[in-house]
C-alpha cells in the first residue's frame, strides 16, 4: 500500500500509491512531491470552504424569501355561496366576494335612506322565476345600517337589511333604477363595517325579492322560503411559496453537486501534474 497523507483523505484524493507505487513514506517526502502538494491542497481546501459558504448562503436566502412570502401574504376572505328558493317558485344562486372594497358613492334607497355599496361584489348570479330569468351575471351588493330588523317589523337585534341589487350600478344611481333586489338580513359585527363578514351565519335569514315590473310599473314581492349559505374554501396560497422553496433548494443542490464534481476533477489534475 502506498502512503496516503491525512489531508488527502479529508478531501477524498485518489490514493498516492496510484502515482508513486515504488516509494515508501520517507522516499516520497524526499522527492518534494509532498511539499508541492501541501500548499496547493491548502489553497484548494480554502476555495472549497468558500464555495460551500456561498452555496449555504444561497440556500438560506431562498428559504428566507419563500418563508417571508408566506408570512406577508395577505389573508383573503373566502367567497360565500348563496342558494335560495321563494314562495312563488323562483330559484336563485350567487357568489359574494366579502373582500370587495366599498364604493365611495353611497347606496341610494327610498325615502332618502342611504347604505354602503360594494360594486361587482356579486358574481355568478342566476335567477329563474316566472317574472324574470338571469344567468351568471355580475352585480352589486349593499348593506343599509338604518334598516334594522325592528325597523322593518321583525324582532330587534336580528341584523341589518342587505341586498343584491340588479343591474350593476343601479343602487348608486339617482332615481331608483334597480330592476329587483334580493334581500337578506346581515348579522355580522356592525363595528367592523364597511368590512363584510365571511361567516355564513352572518347571512342566514332570507327576506325576499323586490321586483319592479317596467311594463306595468308595479312592484312585486316574493318571500324567500329557503336560504343556504356556505363557505367556499380557496386554494391555500402557501403551497406556491413552499413549492418555490423546494424548487430553490433543489436548484442549489444541483449547483452543489456540479461544483463537487468540478472540484474532484481539479484535484485529480493537480495530483497528475505534481
Note down the domain range covering 92: 80-231
Residues 6 or more apart in contact with residue 174 via CB below 8 angstroms: 108
What are the E-state strand segments in 31-175?
80-86, 91-96, 107-108, 114-129, 132-148, 160-166
Provide the number of structural domains found in the chain: 2
Question: What digits encode the pLDDT tens for the residues 38-94?
Answer: 566 566 666 655 665 565 555 445 554 544 444 444 556 679 999 999 999 999 999
Do residues 112 and 49 share a domain? no
* pLDDT at position 209 over 60: yes
Q: Is the peptide bond before 88 cis (omega within 30 degrees of 0)?
A: no
Are the C-beta atoms of residues 208 and 223 closer than 8 Å to each other? yes
Do residues 218 and 106 share a domain? yes
> Considering the entire predicted model, what is its pTM?
0.62
Do residues 59 and 87 share a domain? no
Find the distance separating the first CA and the last CA of the chain, reported in whole Å. Answer: 20
CA gap 27, 25 in Å, rounded? 6
Alpha helices in the chain (DSSP H): 6-10, 25-30, 33-72, 238-273
Amino acid at each position: 500500500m502506498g502512503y496516503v497523507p491525512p489531508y488527502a483523505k479529508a478531501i477524498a484524493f485518489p490514493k498516492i500509491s496510484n502515482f508513486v507505487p515504488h516509494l515508501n513514506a520517507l522516499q516520497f517526502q524526499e522527492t518534494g512531491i509532498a511539499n508541492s502538494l501541501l500548499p496547493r491542497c491548502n489553497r484548494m481546501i480554502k476555495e472549497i470552504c468558500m464555495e460551500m459558504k456561498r452555496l449555504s448562503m444561497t440556500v438560506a436566502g431562498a428559504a428566507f424569501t419563500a418563508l417571508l412570502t408566506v408570512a406577508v401574504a395577505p389573508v383573503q376572505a373566502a367567497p360565500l355561496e348563496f342558494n335560495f328558493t321563494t314562495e312563488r317558485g323562483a330559484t336563485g344562486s350567487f357568489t359574494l366576494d366579502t373582500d370587495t372594497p366599498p364604493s365611495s358613492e353611497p347606496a341610494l334607497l327610498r325615502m332618502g335612506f342611504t347604505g354602503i355599496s360594494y360594486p361587482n361584489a356579486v358574481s355568478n348570479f342566476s335567477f329563474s322565476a316566472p317574472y324574470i330569468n338571469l344567468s351568471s351575471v355580475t352585480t352589486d351588493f349593499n348593506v343599509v345600517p338604518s334598516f334594522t330588523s325592528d325597523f322593518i317589523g321583525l324582532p330587534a337585534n336580528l341584523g341589518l337589511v342587505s341586498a343584491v341589487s340588479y343591474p350593476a350600478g343601479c343602487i348608486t344611481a339617482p332615481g331608483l333604477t334597480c330592476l329587483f333586489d334580493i334581500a337578506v338580513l346581515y348579522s355580522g359585527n356592525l363595528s367592523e363595517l364597511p368590512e363584510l363578514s365571511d361567516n355564513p351565519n352572518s347571512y342566514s335569514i332570507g327576506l325576499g325579492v323586490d321586483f319592479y315590473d317596467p311594463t306595468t310599473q308595479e312592484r312585486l314581492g316574493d318571500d324567500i322560503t329557503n336560504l343556504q349559505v356556505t363557505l367556499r374554501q380557496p386554494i391555500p396560497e402557501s403551497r406556491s411559496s413552499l413549492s418555490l422553496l423546494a424548487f430553490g433548494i433543489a436548484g442549489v443542490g444541483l449547483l452543489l453537486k456540479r461544483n463537487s464534481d468540478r472540484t474532484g476533477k481539479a484535484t485529480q489534475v493537480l495530483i497528475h501534474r505534481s
